[in-house]
Amino acid sequence: MDEYDVLVIGGGTGNNVAAAAAEAGLETALIEKGPLGGTCLNRGCNPSKMLIQAASAAQQVREADRFFLDASLDEIDFESIVADMDETLSGLAAGMEEAYREKEHLTLYNDEAVFVDERTVAVGGECVRGEKVLVAAGGRPVVPPIDGLDEVDFLSSREALYLDEQPESLVVVGGGYIAVELGYFFETLGTPVRIIETGETLLGREDSEVAETFTEIARERHGVHTGYRATGVESVNGTVRVQAEGEDGETITVEGEKLLLAAGRRPNTDTLDVAAAGIETDESEFILTDERLQTSAEGVWAQGDIAGNAMFKHSGDYETRIAIDNIVHDERRAIDLSAIPHAIFTEPQIAGVGATEDELRADDREYVVGRQSLPETPMGRAKKLDGGFVKVLAAPDGEILGCHMLGEGASTMIHEVLVAMRAGSGTVTDVTDTIHAHPTLNKAVEYAFQDALDA
């Protein structure tokens, strides 16, 4: 049995921990059955955002008449859009693997790992053990229990990102981040989309004002069926027919050439058999970790989607820094997952951080609200924006409790709020006392925080 100082399972965010360990002179093993880079590089953030850029470019052409410009979108080369993305990203993954195979003190196993004992896995027909182990094996799309699903072809987000041909029509089951981003991409490039979601709105985890506003925008683009649960599917004359049922028993039938399941993600703890290593999980099968990312098993840490602390690439990157300090450098550094942001790259964009208004009500927290409409700002008027807003939630003493945005540039504008919450005093005056360049869209953030201060 081969033994290593550090054993890393998962080549997404975990690859950086393996590299740091090897560079520190520790004999290190990195196990990854797929291409290096993990979900983000190969099956998530990177490919989806490259495709969405094409959709956003098409949207700008269609809306050029707002500025009295005569422009037309004569042709969309769907195949080339996908091929360009694939060629760009596959080259990055291949280059990463080549570099890692040449790295001193690092052994790369391109295979699946399964725990067989404490800090010991079976991989490629042999057993490998680590003095220290990091589990960073991510997650995978959930396949919901729908009658007939085993008899029809369906797409997960992985396959949907790499289609060779544009679907004539698409049915999406799910209403979260992945569902709305891919729905936006396909619809904007010309594929009619219908979305089936069990909740009363799309993006049910967002602040309710954001979720309700976005759902109405989505209804103008797609067929949106909220409050329905998909119960059965069947193939009919080359299409997929989906039956769905509402809480009141009402049923609907939705049909499309392709079916995309975007009903969430689950951790890969089952395929790893983490219980064999004494690693405890919660009721949703995420690995339980303490504030230093240590698991219940001695000498074993976990990070990223498999730990479920915050299922975002940027939180995984942050956890990587903590893991390197604690595993490689033997520090005792604790994580701080307060003020973790998220962004959704539809049109309009959505971004948020901190508590939602519903959460504050549920906790019986006292709070004030500050708002600013994007169209009612100088840059909003210049861009001829017809919607979007910034919403601030603050305690009466000025502490920033949450901030939620919908509109152009939201994914960028949220960052000054993050700096205030994580590196500043965490109060409204961090933003209102900052001189904002005029007439940037970020003036909307300033105005919203001033509104909260005056409330």
DSSP annotation string for 4-59: EEEEEE-SSTHHHHHHHHHHTT--EEEE-SS-TTHHHHHHSHHHHHHHHHHHHHHH
Over 90: is that where the pLDDT of 94 sits? no
Domain positions in the chain: 2-141+266-328, 149-263, 342-454
Query: Residue 406 — pLDDT band, cuts 50, 70, 90?
Result: very high
409 pLDDT higher than 90: yes
pLDDT band at residue 284 under the 50/70/90 scheme: very high
In this predicted structure, what is the pLDDT of residue 445? 98
Structure confidence at residue 308 as a pLDDT band (50, 70, 90): confident
Give me the helices (H) in 192-338, please: 208-221, 269-272, 313-323
Q: Comparing C-alpha atoms, which of 83, 56, 61 is closest to residue 71?
A: 61
In this prediction, residue 425 has a pLDDT band, given cuts at 50, 70 and 90, of very high
> For residue range 165-185, what is the model confidence (pLDDT) as tens digits?
999 999 999 999 999 999 999
The reported pLDDT for the residue numbered 375 is 98
- CATH code of the domain occupying 342-454: 3.30.390.30
Q: Which CATH topology does 149-263 take?
A: FAD/NAD(P)-binding domain (3.50.50)
Residue 366 has a pLDDT of 98
Peptide bond into 348 cis (omega under 30): yes
* 9-30: pLDDT as tens digits: 999 989 999 999 999 999 999 9
Please tell me the distance from the alpha carbon of residue 413 to that of residue 156, in angstroms, as a whole number.
31
- Residue 98: the pLDDT is 87
Please compute the mean of the pLDDT values over residues 42-48 and round it to a whole number.
Answer: 86
pLDDT at 59: 95
| CA-angle at 76, arms to 258 and 256, nearest 5° | 15
pTM exceeds cut of 0.75: yes
Residue 61 confidence (pLDDT) above 80: yes
pLDDT, residue 39, reads 76
d(CA 214, CA 212): 6
Region label for 335, one of left (φ > 0), alpha (ψ between -120 and 50) or beta (otherwise): beta
C-alpha Rg value of the chain to the nearest Å: 24
Q: What integer pLDDT is reported at residue 44 of this predicted model? A: 82
Question: In this predicted model, what pLDDT tens digit does every residue of 124-135 receive, in sequence order?
Answer: 889 999 999 999
Confidence class for position 197, pLDDT limits 50, 70, 90? very high
Q: What is the mean pLDDT of residues 380-394?
A: 97
Same fold, 2-141+266-328 and 149-263: yes
Q: What percent of the chain has pLDDT over 90?
A: 90
Report the share of the chain in percent with pLDDT over 70: 100
Cite the active site residues: 438
Superfamily designation of domain 2-141+266-328 = FAD/NAD(P)-binding domain (3.50.50.60)
